[in-house]
Amino acid sequence: MASKSVVMNSEDNIATTLEDITKGEEVKVEIKGDVKSIKISDDIPFGHKFSLVEIKKGNDVVKYGEVIGMASEDIKKGDYVHVHNLESKRARGDLKKRGVN
């Protein structure tokens, strides 16, 4: 199966594109040998991410089996995941200045 995306770890809730993907495309994703079809909600450029499942606002976004941030808004299955809906949890000096931990 030639895939347009890759899932790095079976615990991931996002996939990374291996080429540009167009809104409305059905992309096949393999996780632990199980192939699932995800309908893409937005145009997604090469090397960027899309959601494999629904991720509620405030929940962790996981790539490489590690938390890379949290959803800053609800993210639907197949949505483009990037700075518009993903907030880093690391190196947030701006939060320390405001007294938020």
Task: Output the domain CATH number for residue 34.
Answer: 2.30.130.110
| pLDDT reported for residue 3 | 84
Residue 57's pLDDT is what?
97
Total number of domains in the chain: 1
The low-confidence residues of the chain, meaning pLDDT below 70, are 1-2, 91-101
Residue 78: burial class (beta carbons within 10 Å; 0-12, 13-18, 19+): buried
Rg of the chain (C-alpha set):
14
* Interatomic CA distance for residues 1 and 69, integer angstroms: 30
pLDDT of residue 23: 98
Q: Which domain holds residue 48?
A: 5-97
**Tokens for 5?**
């995306």
